[in-house]
Structure 1
Amino acid sequence: MTTFEAAQLVAAREIRTKLRDKAFLLSTGIFLVIVLASLVLPALLNSGPAKVAVTDGASVAVLQEHGFEVRTVADTATAEQLVRDGEVDAAVLPGPVVVGDDESPGDVVQALSVEPQVRLLEPSDVDPFLKVIVPLAFAMLFFFTSFTFGMQIAQSVVEEKQTRIVEILVASIPVRALLAGKVFALTLLAFGQVALLALVAIVGMSATDTAPGLISAALPAIGWFVPFFVIGFVMLAALWAGVGALASRQEELTSTTVPVQMLVLIPFFAVLSVPHDGVAMKVLSYIPFSSPIAMPIRLFDGGAAIWEPVVALVLLAVTAVGLLGVGARVYSGSLLRTQVRTNFMTALRRS
């Protein structure tokens, strides 16, 4: 059996094991429900345009222009009674005077207020709320996927050490084939989960009126997010396997995986805490550990030149190759030390 064939065998085993894992299937289902609910529920909870009773025709055109359902009535008493009965959300009397039930109808007041004319030089088709949510979704997607799947890689490695099954595996196939199979399988599963979430998100957006503008604006960022996600995940996956092999039992994973946890946590919070159009964000979009999050966000905001993601992706790929080597050395240098926890530098020297 060649190394490639052995890696394929390990990958197939890891994928079958995960697809039979109820916890993995349940977590995937929960993520799908959360994504779909976050897109569809706001539209479902919005029961339609607010209803306003009007006693004269002076305000009808303005209210209709702002999307209100206008009901013209004969007098003030009728309008106020409709508000009390809950048949309309507010009433507009001559003056104009806006009448509410137990709180001020701010949307009606705002519609009738005189505002200065606003002219945008570069109008956006994307809702301002979505400009906040979509970048956050990029960051959360890479963070949670790399963290949860990374911990699963580390747990799988230390479980094989605890049960001593790793000794049988290493006697049958090369260590590098075992590592390559694990990394490939978990990368494929992670990408499959992300693709499924993206598909559900697109289906959910198609049920709302935000879909056309949002999809067209997000498409370039999504296109670049895919290679950044895959290479970034592979870069971290080998490190997760390496630090997982340092532990001799599950209880030691908390301490052995801290360095890689920091490589995931710090870039995530750094990207979310700086302005999207600032110098710090531009720097973060070139740092390999934060570029899978920062660069797609800059592309979505339209703040990155066409050459910038190419440069950032090359830097990420070069770093990934280097860290794959480090992770492989740590993994091979500590995998068969099943009785005691292995020091990082000791594992590097032993490999």
Structure 2
Amino acid sequence: MNTRQAALLVAAREIQIKIRDRAFLISTALFLLIAAAATILPGILSGDDEPTTVAVSSASGNVVAPLTEAGHEVRTVADDAAAEQAVRDGDVGAAVVAGPTVLALDDTPDDVVRALSTAPPVQLLDPDAINPVAAFLVPFIFAFVFFLTSQAFGMPIAQSITEEKQTRIVEILVAAVPVRALLAGKVIAGCVLALGQIVLLSLVTVVGLQFSGNTELLSLIAPAIGWFLPFFLFGFLLLAAMWAVAGAVVARQEDIASSSMPVQMALMVPFFAVVFLNDNPTILKILSYVPFSAPMAMPLRAFTGDAAAWEPIVSLALLAVAAVAFVLAGARIYEGSLLRTNGRVGLATAWRSRENVG
């Protein structure tokens, strides 16, 4: 068989082994359950039990009595301008001004509207504002999903390669299929499994938001999810090549922890940078063009609307070029170290002395 056929055969074998693994199936089901709960339960549990604090201007008319009877805390202010400023400052949840008109920041206060005898018009002062909770959670979720999935599907690539070296099964495998087909098959399998899990999580999230009626958040997060999928694919491909090298340069499972440290750092540093510096537009813009952090930073900027229409395209192109470069370099080091089973192989040695077994 040719290299392509051999790579697909190896990939199919790796996928079959993984999807039969009970731990993998349980973890996938758990992730999907968490995604469903995170999108459905907040809408069910939130309700309107907590009364809204309402600022009422002297020009709003006789609205104090119905609002008080409905259980709302009413704060009387001097004029409409003071009422509007109280909403903008977050001192009150809504305000009733001349008209009467209900003022709110970014979401219609249905409980206040219902309390008035005649439903007044509602004016949103900042309709495009992102919910503070969503603004905090979305960057963390994007970063956490990429970090956890890359770790969960990348480490097995390294472990599988080292196990085959340690048991010397690799000597039998390379006699049947080209060396590059082994690497390509393992990387393809990892990408398919990881991307498949991300697609399932995205579908559950979208369905959950629709079911809970949170269409406003869905309209904001859907474009970010759309960008996250291709960014994740190329980001994982880049890291998969690094995981493969980490497994190929050592001959024992016990040595993977040390050989994979560069990969761990390439995951951890961008993760913490995006999570803790997501409120810094300048830093986040830089991170969205760095290949290791782009899969987390650029979808976040698409969510917040800080990225111009051309920026995700350029960032994705740079990430794709970096991924291809890492795969080519990783393949050369993989070939140069795979059949060296007498200890750890230096990267320079593996690069210079690539085994001609493919």
TM superposition score category, shorter chain reference: 0.7 to 0.9
Change (3 A) 1:111 1:303: closer
Match of 1:328 in 2: 331
Change (3 A) 1:60 1:188: farther
In structure 2, C-alpha distance between the alignment counterparts of 1:160 and 1:140, rounded to whole Å: 31
Change (3 A) 1:4 1:63: farther
Match of 2:157 in 1: 153
Give 1:13's aligned amino acid.
R
1:46, distance to aligned residue in structure 2 (A): 3.8
Q: Structure 1: any 5+ residue segments left out of the alignment? A: 65-69, 71-89, 96-108
- Deviations for 1:34-63, whole angstroms, at most 9, x for unmatched residues? 2122223333434652589xxxx9755325
Give 2:297's aligned amino acid.
A
Q: CA RMSD in A?
A: 2.8
- Deviations for 1:236-270, whole angstroms, at most 9, x for unmatched residues? 11111111111211110100000111111111111
Q: Structure 2: any 5+ residue segments left out of the alignment? A: 53-61, 77-90, 106-123
Match of 1:230 in 2: 233
In structure 2, C-alpha distance between the alignment counterparts of 1:274 and 1:112, rounded to whole Å: 31
1:299 maps to which of 302, 315, 318: 302
Q: Is the 8 A contact 1:153 1:182 kept in 2?
A: yes
Change (3 A) 1:8 1:92: closer
Percent identity for Structure 1 against Structure 2: 50
Report whether the alignment pairs 1:319 with 2:322: yes
1:181 maps to which of 172, 182, 185: 185
- Number of equivalences: 308
Give 1:271's aligned amino acid.
V
| Misfit runs of 4+, over 4 Å | 57-60, 90-93, 109-122
The alignment partner of 1:337 has SS state of coil
1:125, distance to aligned residue in structure 2 (A): 6.7
- Deviations for 1:63-83, whole angstroms, at most 9, x for unmatched residues? 58xxxxx4xxxxxxxxxxxxx
In structure 2, C-alpha distance between the alignment counterparts of 1:137 and 1:301, rounded to whole Å: 14
Moved more, 3-12 or 155-164: 155-164
1:344, distance to aligned residue in structure 2 (A): 2.1
Change (3 A) 1:60 1:205: farther
Q: Is the 8 A contact 1:62 1:111 kept in 2?
A: no
Give 1:183's aligned amino acid.
V
1:170 maps to which of 163, 166, 174: 174
The alignment partner of 1:340 has SS state of coil
- What TM-score does the superposition give when structure 1 sets the normalisation length? 0.80
Q: Is the 8 A contact 2:146 2:232 kept in 1?
A: yes
Report whether the alignment pairs 1:129 with 2:165: no
